[in-house]
Structure 1
Amino acid sequence: MTIDLGFMWTAFIQLLSAVPVTLLITGVSVVCGFLIGAVIALIRMNRVPILHPIAVSYVTFIRGTPMLVHLLLIYYGLPMLIDAVAKEVGSGFRAASIPMIDFVFLAFSITSSAYMAEVIRSGLLAVDRGQLEAAHSVGMTTMQAMYRIVLPQAFAASLPNLANNVIGMLHGSTLAFTVSVVEIMAKAQIVASTNWKFLESYLAAAVIFWGLTVLIEKATGLLEARVNLYNRGGVA
C-alpha cells in the first residue's frame, strides 16, 4: 500500500476552505451552550423550585444520549413541529426555508449546554463559600463579590474542562455532514470521491483537526497562566 502524498497535499489545500464552517459550528455551539449552561448551573446550585428538577432531568437526558441523536431529533422533529404550528395559525412559512446549518447550531448548542452546565457548576463549587461571606462582611454586594472574587476563581478552576468541551465540540462538528452541511469531513468525502483516494483525504482532515486542537490547547495554556497570575494578585 502506498500513500499518494501529492494528492494528500492537494486534499489538504482544498479542505482548508471548509475550516471556517467547522469553526463557526464550534464557536456558535460553545458560546450558546455556555450561556444556556450557566443558567442551568445557577438553577441547580440555588435549587430553584420547579426549575431545579427540570434542569437535572435535562442535563441527565442530554448527557445520556449521543450527540448524533440530538442532531437527528432536531433535524427531523423540529421541521414537523414548525410546519404543524404554521399550518395551525394559517402561516405560509415552511421549515424547508430554514438553512440546514441552523438546525446544526441548535442541536449542538443543546448538546454543549448540558456539558457546560456541569463544568460551570463544578467551577463554582470549587470556590469556598466562605469567600462570599467574607465579601459580604466588608460591604460588597453579592454581584460585586461574584464578579470580583468568585467568578475569576471559578473560571480558573473550570478552564481545563472548558477547553476539553471546546475540543469535543470541534470534533463533534464532523457529525454535521449527516445533514448535508459541508464542514471538513464532508469536504474530505467530496474531495476523495474525485478519484477514490479516501485514505489520503481523511489523513489530510486528521492533520487539520490535530492542528486546530493544538492551537486550542496552546491558547488555553496561555489564558490559564494569565488567569492564575491575576488570581494571585499579579499584573495580568
Structure 2
Amino acid sequence: MNYDFSIIFEKFPIFIPAAIETLEISAAAILVGVIFGLIIAFGRLSKIKIIYYISTLYVTIIRGTPIILQLFIVYFGLANIVRLDPFPSAVIAFGAHNAAYIAEIFRGSILSIDKGQMEAARSIGMSNFLAMRRIVLPQAFKRAVPNLGNQFIIAIKDSSLASTIAVGELLLKAQQLGSSNFRFMEYLVLAGIYYLIITGVLSIFVNKLEKRLAVSER
C-alpha cells in the first residue's frame, strides 16, 4: 500500500479538537498531580510514622504498577461503586499517577536545601510552616523545575492511553480516521506531529523558566 502523506496537510485542522482534549486531560492531570504530589512529599518527609508509611506505600504502589492498569481500575474496577465518565476517570488516574512521581521530585528538592537555612529561620522565631513556605519551598521549586518539566512532558504523552477508554484525544482520533480508509500510518504520523508540537512548546517554556529562575538566583 502506498502512503499518501498529503493527508497530513489536508486533515491537520481536523485534529485540533482532539489536541484540545489532550491538553485538557494533561493540564488537569498535572494540576492534580502537583497538588497531591506536594502533599505526599510532605508525608514522605513527616516524622509521624503512620503518615510516612502511608505516603511511602502510595508512592511504591503507583510507581510499581503500569499506568494503564491504574486507568482501568478507576474506569472499570470502580464501576460497581461509582460510575465515572471517561474524561474524569482519565484525569483521576493520570493525576494520581503523576502525584507519585511529582512527590519524589519535590521531596528530593526539599532535601537538597541546606538544613542550616531552616535552623536559621527557626532561630529568629519563624514557625516550621512559615520557614518552609518562605525560605525552603521557593528554593526547592526552582531546583525542581527541570524535573517537573520532564514529568509534565511524560504526562502529555501518557494522555494517549486515554484512548483505551474512548476519550477523544489525539490517538483515538487517529485510530478512528485510520479505520475509515485504512490510512493508519498517515493519521498516526499526524497525531505524532501534534504531540511533538505540544511537547516542544512546553520544553521551550520550561527551558526559559529555568533560565529565568537561574538568573534571579544570581
TM-score range, shorter chain: over 0.9
Instruction: Measure, in 2, the Cα distance between the counterparts of 1:54 and 1:172.
Output: 26
- State the TM-score, normalizing by the size of structure 1: 0.87
2:155 aligns with: 169
2:11 aligns with: 11
CA RMSD of aligned residues (A): 1.5
- Determine which structure has greater relative contact order: mean sequence separation of CA pairs < 8 Å that are 6+ residues apart, divided by chain length: 1
Deviation at 1:2, TM superposition (A): 4.4
Contact 1:152–1:227, Cα closer than 8 Å, also in 2: no
- Cα deviations across residues 83-130 of structure 1 (Å, max 9, x unaligned)? xxxxxxxxxxxx2xx422111111111111111110110110111111
Deviation at 1:79, TM superposition (A): 1.4
Deviation at 1:209, TM superposition (A): 0.5
SS state at 2:81 partner: helix
Contact 1:14–1:191, Cα closer than 8 Å, also in 2: no
Deviation at 1:70, TM superposition (A): 0.2
Which of residues 115, 121, 124 in structure 1 aligns to 2:101? 115
Instruction: Measure, in 1, the Cα distance between the counterparts of 2:155 and 2:40.
Output: 19
Superposed counterparts of 1:27-66, under 5 Å: 27-66=27-66
1:24 aligns with: 24
Which of residues 139, 144, 155 in structure 2 aligns to 1:158? 144
Contact 1:38–1:117, Cα closer than 8 Å, also in 2: yes
Contact 1:21–1:183, Cα closer than 8 Å, also in 2: yes
Deviation at 1:145, TM superposition (A): 2.4
Counterpart amino acid of residue 55 in structure 2: A
Contact 1:59–1:115, Cα closer than 8 Å, also in 2: yes
Contact 1:11–1:191, Cα closer than 8 Å, also in 2: no
Instruction: Measure, in 2, the Cα distance between the counterparts of 1:102 and 1:221.
Output: 30
Counterpart amino acid of residue 149 in structure 2: A
Instruction: Measure, in 2, the Cα distance between the counterparts of 1:148 and 1:3.
Output: 58
Q: Which runs of 5+ in 1 are unaligned?
A: 83-94
Which of residues 162, 177, 182 in structure 2 aligns to 1:196? 182
Which of residues 102, 118, 135 in structure 1 aligns to 2:121? 135
Q: Percent identity?
A: 35
- State the TM-score, normalizing by the size of structure 2: 0.94
SS state at 1:194 partner: helix
Larger CA deviation: 117-126 vs 139-148: 139-148
Contact 1:174–1:185, Cα closer than 8 Å, also in 2: yes
1:205 paired to 2:191: yes
- Find the structure with the greater CA-based Rg: 1
Question: How many residues of Structure 1 are paired with residues of Structure 2 in the alignment?
Answer: 218
Contact 1:12–1:205, Cα closer than 8 Å, also in 2: no
2:91 aligns with: 105
Contact 1:12–1:201, Cα closer than 8 Å, also in 2: no
Contact 1:11–1:200, Cα closer than 8 Å, also in 2: no
Deviation at 1:51, TM superposition (A): 1.9
Instruction: Measure, in 1, the Cα distance between the counterparts of 2:152 and 2:98.
Output: 9
